Structure formats: structure tokens, C-alpha cells
Amino acid sequence: MKVIIIGATIAGTTAVSQLIQSSNDHVDVTVYERSTKVAFVDAGVPLFLSKKIKHLDSLALSSASDFTKLGVNMQLKHDVLKIDVQNHEVLVQDLDSNRQFMDTYDKLILATGSVVTVPPIIGVTSNKVKLVKNYDTTQELVKTLVGMKSIAIAGGGYLGVELAEALCSEHDVTLYQSRKYLLNHYYDEPMAETVCQLLTDHGVQVYLNDSVSSFVDHGDHLEIVSDNRKTSYDLAIVCTGFMPLSSLVRGQVKLDRRGAVITNDFEQTSNHDVYAIGDVRTTRQNATNQQQYLPQLTNAIRQAKIAALHINGYQLKDRGAQGTTALSIFDTTYSSAGITQRIANKLNIPTKSVTYDGPYRATFMKDNANILVTLVYHADNHRVLGIQIRCPHDVTQAANTVSLAIQNHNTIEDLALTDMFFHPRYNRPVNFLNEVAMMAIEQDGKIVE
């Protein structure tokens, strides 16, 4: 059997490894990648820019030679120009020689990933406006930052916030967010306000409800025109979200309205010989039981393993996802899973929320700290739908616990009575997750069993 994988992303390389490991027979694997880097972790870019990671190359988790040794045909600097899913053919261009050729497959895995969404803003193509996503764009940004004093960042999601933290120690940073508050996909307003305050306390200027409408390159400076002001900067960075790289299969397999590939529980597209994994596709959000675009590395890895196993004859179903995330900013950790109350309201899901604000571990311990925990749950059936956590100490793994609760359709009653360990170093006799769930029961005044 011949398998072609398009994209040596984390998803693509994970699929390669799983195909080789789980195959009982010989499997012929070819990987086409148009860049020179393999398995690049773009989530580590802010860490590199803040000099917490010394070498950008260290963000590439593998090399082509790692897979060549396993018998994989690794073709870097090869761009797939066209896929014909009916005839099981791909048209490939060697970017060194410009030679084009056809290749065939029995099974194809689409792991092309995503690109930064380029908003329809006047002047966005200026040399003073940069996008950050992969190895090459990060290298270009690093070179451009030399000698730059004032930096504007458009986009208040995770990447925008992390870039603001990474750059503010050596630059004057301004963050533009078109929404009412930062990180609006992951946190409700009260929690997000604490992120904004941290940025402000460390010298970042944050403009909320302020969309950038144009970039005007004056040569010696860049003027940004937004809803509420005109301001000059040396450089702007746009990080307004990501979009799937699915053009190769458009019109051949089912896509959602934003162009993300739709798959079944075995990661197969509507053409069952074509699989889609990673940022190119949708994922079932278990909190809503709806397909959602969740471009996250952990989703990509799970999907890659499931697709590879299915090709090799194993029937392991995708369990969906909860959009579980974490963030460390100025030594304060944030984590979340599921949906926020704002998103639930938008989807007409009846919800309630409750917040615990108290010590995260036994009160007699020195160096204690308060933890802020917001639990979102279904108003009728009491299913746990979301969690948001903030603490100076690293308690981010708690979001993973709640992620499993959401996946398994657990209720606030289940969470309130879940057996959790006690040790004074790490928590209170009643764990904060037990505590916030019990608060939800008391708030609701009823038990759902």
C-alpha cells in the first residue's frame, strides 16, 4: 500500500511515525513538504522571541533524516500543486529544479496545516507589516526587529498576547483588539480583564474595541489608522487568527463555510481514501457537540495517530476535543477547556457559571496564592461545559481534568464528588475543582442524578 502525506507538519510527521510503528505489512510512505523544516512547533515562537529558547531550530522536533532512516521517502522543497481524488493522483513540483511530475497513491493524508488570516486591511502588504507563523516568517521578523522601538500588534488572541509579553521588555508595544476584551474565544470578560491588567502593568498599551482599518507606510514610520485613533509605529505584526490550507481539495471533499475539511470519526474526508488531520480540518467540540475549527497541536497529534491506525486496519474512533488551552504570562498561568458563557449564550445553550476565588492550597502553607476558577455548566442537565483558571502557581493541569469531564459528559455533581488527592504542598483538603463544582450545586439549589 502506498500512502502520500502532504505536509511535514507536526500532524504529518506524527502520522508517518504511527504508520511505520503500527504496520504489520510493508507500507510505502512518501511525504511532500514545500519548506525545508520538519515538525516545526509554531507555538514556541513567542518563547524564542523572548529569548527563553536560544535557537529557533530547536522548535523543529524532527529532521528529514529521522524518517529517511525508517524508509520514508521524504521530499522537502516539493510543492503539491494539484490533487485528483477520483484518480488518486497528485501533481508535484520540485522547487529546486521546477520540474513537475505526477505521483499516485492508495491513501492520502492531508496535513497542510494553516496560515495566518490576512485581514482585508489597506496597506497590509507593506514591508513594515509582518505575519508570524512558521520558521521563515519568524526569521524574517527577528531580522526586522533590530533597531525597531515601537511595535504594534493587531489581534488579541493567544499569539497576540504572547507576542506582546515577549517583545515588551525591549520595545514599546501596543496591542489592538477588535473585540471588547482579550482572549475572547477562551475566557469570559472577568478573567480576560486580569490578562489585560497584567499587560498594562508591564508597559503594554492595550486598545480594546479598536479595529485596525489601514496601514500607511511613510517610509520612516508606519501609521496605523484604527476605529478610535491614528498612531505611528516602526513596525506592525498581524496575528488575527488562522485559516485552513485546504485549497487542494476544494470542490472534491466536503468543507465547512470557512474552508476547513470535514471528517468522520476515523479522520476520513467525504472521499474515504483521503484523510485530513491537524489545522486543515474541523473538530467536534464536545461541549456543544458541533464541528468547530480548533487549530491546536494536541488535536493534530491525536488525529494523526487515529488516521494512521485506520489506514493500517485499526478502528480507533476520534473522541472529539474540548479546545483545552494554557498560557503563561508574566509568571501567571491561565488555562481553559470547553466553552465560555459568552459562546454558550451565542449558541443558545442555557448555562450558568460560578467562580471560586480563594487559596489554591492549605492556608497554613507559606507562599500561598489565590486561584481564580470559573466553572460553566448547563443550566438544565448540569453537564460541565467549561472551565477557566488563573493562578500565579502552575495549576494548568486542572484544565485537563475538566477537559476529560466535558468529554465524558460529566455533571457538576460528578465533579464535586470526584476523588482527588490532598497534600498541603499542592492543594486544600477540598480541591478547588471539587469546591467550585459544589458551589455550582449550591447556587442551583437542586441535584441532577
pLDDT tens sequence across 329-358? 999 999 999 999 999 999 999 999 999 999
Pairing status of strand 384-391 against strand 370-378: antiparallel
Which domains, ranges and CATH numbers included, belong to the chain?
2-35+60-115+242-311 (3.50.50.60), 118-238 (3.50.50.60), 325-444 (3.30.390.30)
Q: Which residues touch 197 (CB under 8 Å, ≥6 apart)?
A: none
The neighbouring-strand residues paired with 255 are: 261
| CA atoms of 278 and 280, how far apart (whole Å) | 6
Question: Looking at the predicted structure, is the pLDDT value of residue 367 above 90?
Answer: no
> What is the average per-residue pLDDT within 286-297?
97
Helix, coil or strand: residue 402: helix
Query: What are the two backbone dihedrals, phi and then psi, of residue 399, each rounded to the nearest 5 degrees?
Result: -65, -35
Contact of 108 with 6, CB cutoff 8 Å: yes
> What is the average per-residue pLDDT within 286-301?
98
CA distances from 100 to 37, 90, 94 (A): 21, 10, 6
pTM: 0.95
Render 76-122 in DSSP notation, one character per residue. ETEEEEEEETTTTEEEEEETTT--EEEEE-SEEEE---EEE-----B
> What is the average per-residue pLDDT within 394-398?
96
Question: Looking at the predicted structure, is the pLDDT value of residue 24 above 90?
Answer: no
> What mean pLDDT, rounded, does the chain reach?
97
366 pLDDT band, cuts 50/70/90, is confident
Q: Which residues touch 143 (CB under 8 Å, ≥6 apart)?
A: none
**Percent of the chain predicted with pLDDT > 90:** 97
> What is the average per-residue pLDDT within 411-416?
99
Contact of 109 with 12, CB cutoff 8 Å: yes
